[in-house]
Structure 1
Amino acid sequence: MKVGITGHRGLSAAVEKLVRPGLDAEVKKYEPTELCGVSCVADGPDSWFAESVLAVGGRIEVVIPADRYRDGLPSTHHATYDALLRQAVEVHHTDMDESTSQAHMAGSEILVGLVDRLIAVWDGEAARGFGGTADVVAYARRIGVPVDIVWPEGATRDAAD
């Protein structure tokens, strides 16, 4: 079973404490030996999900939206990104160079195309830029990939998507 992740970046530490248990609960719905999580391993829900999948004994695949994708992530996240990338059983690329919103959406489309289900850490609001969480959810629904929403009561999105 391949399960993908999309979610808002820039969530506060307080929201992370609310979201992580929800992600863990979603991951635990699957038999670990059959679970493959697919993620772009950006900071926030992408990485929290990948870490959760690995913690229960599942595998991860990584989608890299652009050759310069890592450069656009916060430097404080680079070690986590690198560690998760090293643990990937497969890595998928868009063949795009610049880490733009178009590249991010292309990466998300690849991710959605690979999975049986998508988990979205999403507040239900519109994306704050092309390729945001709402766009990925809409794409998944358009092509018939079931979406499970994780957005705990009390969570707020206080940074860009």
Structure 2
Amino acid sequence: MPVIAVTGHLDLAPATSRAVRTALDALLDPYPAAELTGVSCLAPGADTLFADAVLARGGRLVAVLPGPGHPGPGATAAERAAFDRLRAAAHRVVALPAPELGPAAYVAANEHLLLLADRLVAVWDGGPGNGPGGTADMVAAARAAGLPVDVLWPPGSTRTGRRAP
């Protein structure tokens, strides 16, 4: 049973979100629903799009939460609603014990994702990232661990520049 984890940008422009969802659907298409497990931190943007794509196919979702305050105080009402919906739909929820959200919590969550995964999907523009726990850091860790990495960044994709919650 393939276990596919996700990492990616939080600040996808609306048109990019639609293009990424189409690309995710195509990437997941070869996997029979009964054999598909997706692993996500349920963050806004790429994580949420991936989790929705896995569930829409009938796959199983494992949520790895970096800490008890996830998705964070800066999350919008829509982001919180999506998080709550996906957490409720998850087959399993792994809540890590970080006392507060920050780089160390995100690094720990990424490490846990990689321990569970056979493959990583990165919704990533290829940029240097925001340091430990970010998308670029996760891609580098997956590659160092020998995991296959599928980078999705459809032509014309853009980011909004909004900071993560």
Instruction: Establish whether TM, by shorter chain, passes 0.5.
Output: yes
Question: Partner of 1:12 in structure 2?
Answer: 13
Question: Partner of 1:41 in structure 2?
Answer: 42
Runs of at least 5 residues in structure 1 that lack an aligned partner in the other structure: none
Give how far 1:131 is off.
1.3
Aligned to 1:76, what secondary structure does the other structure show?
A: helix
Question: Partner of 1:141 in structure 2?
Answer: 143
Question: Partner of 2:120 in structure 1?
Answer: 118
Aligned to 2:63, what secondary structure does the other structure show?
A: strand
2:126 is aligned with what amino acid?
G
Distance, in Å, in 2 between the alignment partners of 1:124 and 1:79 is: 29
How large is the RMSD of aligned CA atoms in angstroms?
A: 1.3
Aligned length: 161
| Residues 93 and 107, structure 1, Cα contact 8 Å, conserved in 2 | no
**Please, what TM-score do these two structures have when normalized by structure 1?**
0.94
Give how far 1:10 is off.
1.0
Identity %: 42
Residue deviations 1:78-137, cap 9 Å, x none? Answer: 111111101111111221121112211210110111010000001111012321100000
1:29 is aligned with what amino acid?
P
Aligned to 1:70, what secondary structure does the other structure show?
A: coil
Distance, in Å, in 1 between the alignment partners of 2:125 and 2:35 is: 29
Question: Partner of 1:127 in structure 2?
Answer: 129
Give how far 1:74 is off.
2.9
Residue deviations 1:22-47, cap 9 Å, x none? Answer: 11111112111100000001111101
Task: Could you list the structure 1 runs, at least 4 aligned residues long, displaced by more than 6 angstroms after superposition.
Answer: none
Give how far 1:57 is off.
0.8
Aligned ranges for residues 17-32 of structure 1 at < 5 Å? Answer: 17-32=18-33
Question: Partner of 1:151 in structure 2?
Answer: 153
1:107 is aligned with what amino acid?
A
Give how far 1:67 is off.
1.1
1:26 is aligned with what amino acid?
L
Runs of at least 5 residues in structure 2 that lack an aligned partner in the other structure: none
| Residues 43 and 74, structure 1, Cα contact 8 Å, conserved in 2 | no
